[in-house]
Amino acid sequence: MITIEQINTYITKIPPAPDALKKTLLHLNNENLSRAASAAQEDNALSSYLKTLVNSPIYGFSNVISDIPQMFGVLGVPRSQQVVYNYMLSLLSPDKWKLFKLNKTTFHNLQSDLSVHWQKILTHLKIIDPHIQSSISLLPATIIVSEALFCENIEDVNQLRSVNPIDLNSILQRLCNVNLFDLCQMIAEKWDMGVSTSQIIQASSGLKPSENKNINILGKWMHLLLFYILSKPKYVEAGLNDFIDFQIDYVEDIYDDFSKVMDIS
């Protein structure tokens, strides 16, 4: 169905970050918002993406923000970095989705939903760290990679899952000894996203708890957040609710806190 050669080819084909993006991120890392905004404006696609994303209802700004420097100013360094990474990831998403019932808009909404709720969690945990804040941007890479690898095998996957409740992550692991979160890590490395991002994403699989206590806690929150978001009707309808296994035991100890932060009653 899927071979390690196909996976290697897929990873090789992932383009490096465009120059304008690299410059934008470099200036954001140096907390120089005005230079970052100038760099971002060099890339029309990035500017357009940022305007659409930041003005979507989930960000909740009362006025339309169309100016990139103003946008970065309102968002601040960590969240600006987060939306730039979201843009980078959206470059990997397919024009037409086959495995999941998604389109550009729903995928952007998913990115926004995750980013905004991740921010709530970090505020609750009192964490202000740009790398940790932007780590959530990489999580939807699991969905993009699943789409890329499994879209030509939808029927096979469905037949297999009709006799065995196996998730896509396990199928990949059993066939190629590599899983979706490993592939996310490879993408993160290719894009110089920082070690902590890779570590949090790996922990968020719920399958490889981190030995670093702080990273592990963030992994738990991210895992639970993913399934909180993927239980929303539009994502259930898109077929995202069960593409990977929810590791309920992994997150049980933070559930009460999580339900307070998300106002679940």
CA 100 vs CA 189, 202, 263: distances in Å:
26, 23, 29
Please say which residue, 63 or 162, places its beta carbon nearer to another protein.
162
Dist. CA 175–CA 116, nearest whole Å? 35
Q: Which one-letter DSSP state was computed for residue 245?
A: -
Q: Residue 209 in contact with residue 171, Cβ under 8 Å?
A: no
Which residues of this protein are in contact with another protein, per CB under 8 A? 1-3, 153, 155-156, 159-167, 170-171, 174-175, 224, 227-228, 230-233, 236-237, 241-242, 245-246, 248, 251-252, 255, 259, 264
> Shortest distance, CB of residue 132 to another protein, whole angstroms?
24
Please say which residue, 155 or 211, places its beta carbon nearer to another protein.
155
> Shortest distance, CB of residue 173 to another protein, whole angstroms?
9
> Shortest distance, CB of residue 156 to another protein, whole angstroms?
5
> Shortest distance, CB of residue 63 to another protein, whole angstroms?
30
Cβ neighbors of 175 (< 8 A, separation 6 or more) are: 1, 2, 3
> Shortest distance, CB of residue 186 to another protein, whole angstroms?
20
Please say which residue, 42 or 167, places its beta carbon nearer to another protein.
167
Question: Tokens at residue 8, please?
Answer: 């290697």
User: Is residue 42 classed as helix, strand or coil in its secondary structure?
Assistant: coil
Please say which residue, 20 or 238, places its beta carbon nearer to another protein.
238
Please say which residue, 123 or 231, places its beta carbon nearer to another protein.
231
Please report the DSSP string for 69-80 in residue order. Answer: HHHHHHHHHHHH
